[in-house]
């Protein structure tokens, strides 16, 4: 949505093309004057669509979309600037998940899996890849030797004027909150971790406290964790996440694996809600600035930090102030948009030389496009039978 708003503000006509099913939870893009269209996987109808559209820029939402449609865009719109929006580095998230399931640290084998080969190949094939995390840029450039000129750091682009809005004070807030899509494995693990290891310790010291757990698509195994006597409340989908976060006293985000940067923590800071999270939770989110909350990777200490923050007004106010500094310094959408558009405009003007400098990308395009093209055509022919 931030990218849509940015390019919309630059005068671009935007077409949102998706192969996914429509959701009741999706944004109303008509408010942004965005054309929406459904596209089919493994179908030559996309060739006609994209050729007639003739976009000057194509943004792929995650590398799987580049794998599916990249060769078609290359064939029909060879001069279009191609941008890959990773959201987070799937390679790192899956590596950490595997390591976590096996109760060990991430090793080189974890980082050399099929996901890594696919995702990094897509990065090479695109003219520019948007990276939300500096830690992931460092991994790509140092471990995988990806050229820095193919990457651009763009974290959340937030309206810092929201920091001037009136927010409930410490005395006006109550309860803890946790939020995150239940279909996202790190979020579901965090909910189980809270239920089994952290919340009982908090509740022992704060017997009247409640934890409101929000998130889209809660499965039965999640709703079964709802227990009013324990103050552990599975609330599911909420219409306005910001409103709920703004009313809470402390946000809990005990993430044990994952990648990217965390929207829930950015939302908490911009709404003046301090947090307790893990080292993975706050990774790449605050630069050299002090964090707007507490950080712990151990359940006992995590719970103790949560209790102390909930009860200490001065500590709470200090973290609110630190969160404001982080948002104001690192997530100013005006400054971030200016830098990104300068990079995009430069690449549009120098696209030929930029591609000549990326021989590995050209080589991967050649081999990938051939194999993907024939596989896609085979699937399309098979589907007609």
- What is the structure's pLDDT at 9? 93
Count the helices and strands in the chain (H runs, E runs): 16, 12
- What is the structure's pLDDT at 377? 72
Quote the mean pLDDT of the chain. 94
Rg (CA), the chain: 22
Give the span between the Cα atoms of 364 and 150, in whole angstroms. 14
- What is the structure's pLDDT at 371? 65
Lowest mean per-residue pLDDT among 22-36, 101-115, 238-252, 332-346: 22-36
Per-residue pLDDT of 188-198, as tens digits, reads 999 999 999 99
Give the span between the Cα atoms of 332 and 260, in whole angstroms. 18
Are 150 and 347 contacting, i.e. CB atoms less than 8 angstroms apart? no
pTM of the model: 0.92
| pLDDT at residue 21 is higher than 90 | no
- What is the structure's pLDDT at 31? 82
Give the span between the Cα atoms of 126 and 150, in whole angstroms. 8
Domain ranges of the chain: 2-157+333-384, 161-330
Question: Could you tell me which CATH class the domain 161-330 is placed in?
Answer: alpha beta
- Token pair belonging to 275: 């947090």
Give the span between the Cα atoms of 362 and 189, in whole angstroms. 40
| pLDDT at residue 114 is higher than 70 | yes
- Token pair belonging to 273: 């809600």
Give the span between the Cα atoms of 176 and 199, in whole angstroms. 10
Q: Residue 17 — left, alpha, or beta (φ > 0 → left; ψ -120 to 50 → alpha)?
A: beta
Above pLDDT 70, what percent of the chain? 98
Lowest mean per-residue pLDDT among 18-32, 186-200, 291-305, 367-381: 367-381
Give the span between the Cα atoms of 194 and 276, in whole angstroms. 12
Give the span between the Cα atoms of 318 and 366, in whole angstroms. 55
Architecture of domain 2-157+333-384: 3-Layer(aba) Sandwich (3.40)
User: Residue 24: pLDDT band by 50, 70, 90 thresholds?
Assistant: confident
β-strands 35-38, 151-153 pairing? unpaired
Give the span between the Cα atoms of 81 and 84, in whole angstroms. 10
What 8-state DSSP symbol labels residue 173?
Answer: -
Are 259 and 180 contacting, i.e. CB atoms less than 8 angstroms apart? no
| pLDDT at residue 295 is higher than 80 | yes
Beta strands in the chain, from DSSP E residues, in sequence order: 15-18, 35-38, 57-61, 81-85, 128-131, 151-153, 176-179, 211-214, 232-236, 250-253, 275-277, 293-295
Per-residue pLDDT of 302-357, as tens digits, reads 999 999 999 999 999 999 999 999 999 999 999 999 999 999 999 999 999 999 99
- Token pair belonging to 5: 């708003």
Whether the domain at 2-157+333-384 and the domain at 161-330 fall into the same CATH topology: yes
Per-residue pLDDT of 131-169, as tens digits, reads 999 999 999 999 999 999 999 999 999 999 999 999 999
Give the span between the Cα atoms of 156 and 251, in whole angstroms. 19
Above pLDDT 90, what percent of the chain? 89
Residues 6 or more apart from 66 whose CB is under 8 A from it?
60, 82, 84, 122, 125, 126
| pLDDT at residue 369 is higher than 70 | no
């Amino acid at each position: 949505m931030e990218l849509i708003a940015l390019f919309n503000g630059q005068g671009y006509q935007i077409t949102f093309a998706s192969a996914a099913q429509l959701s009741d939870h999706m944004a109303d893009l008509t408010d942004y004057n965005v054309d929406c269209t459904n596209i089919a996987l493994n179908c030559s109808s996309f060739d006609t669509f994209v050729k007639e559209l003739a976009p000057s820029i194509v943004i792929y939402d995650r590398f799987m979309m580049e794998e599916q449609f990249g060769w078609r865009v290359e064939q029909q719109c060879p001069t279009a600037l191609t941008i890959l929006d990773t959201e987070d580095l799937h390679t790192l998230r899956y590596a950490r998940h595997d390591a976590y399931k096996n109760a060990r640290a991430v090793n080189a084998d974890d980082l050399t899996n099929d996901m890594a080969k696919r995702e990094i190949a897509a990065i090479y094939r695109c003219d520019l890849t948007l990276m939300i995390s500096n830690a992931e840029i460092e991994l790509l450039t140092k471990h995988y030797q990806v050229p820095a000129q193919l990457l651009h750091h763009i974290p959340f682009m937030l309206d810092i004027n929201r920091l001037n809005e009136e927010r409930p004070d410490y005395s006006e807030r109550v309860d803890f909150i946790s939020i995150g899509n239940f279909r996202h494995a790190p979020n579901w693990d965090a909910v189980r971790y809270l239920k089994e290891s952290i919340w009982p310790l908090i509740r022992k010291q704060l017997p009247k406290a409640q934890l409101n757990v929000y998130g889209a698509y809660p499965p039965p195994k999640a709703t079964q964790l709802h227990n009013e006597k324990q103050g552990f409340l599975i609330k599911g989908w909420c219409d306005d996440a910001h409103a709920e976060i703004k009313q809470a006293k402390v946000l809990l985000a005990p993430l044990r694996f994952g990648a990217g940067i965390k929207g829930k923590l950015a939302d908490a800071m911009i709404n003046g809600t301090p947090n307790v999270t893990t080292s993975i939770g706050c990774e790449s989110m605050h630069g050299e600035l002090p964090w707007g909350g507490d950080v712990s990777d151990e359940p006992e200490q995590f719970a103790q930090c949560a209790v102390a923050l909930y009860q200490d007004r001065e500590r709470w106010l200090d973290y609110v102030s630190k969160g404001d500094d982080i948002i104001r310094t690192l997530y100013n959408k005006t400054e971030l948009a200016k830098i990104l558009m300068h990079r995009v405009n430069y690449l549009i003007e120098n696209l030929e030389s930029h591609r000549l400098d990326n021989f590995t990308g050209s080589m991967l395009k050649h081999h990938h496009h051939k194999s993907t093209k024939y596989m896609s055509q085979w699937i399309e022919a098979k589907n007609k039978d």
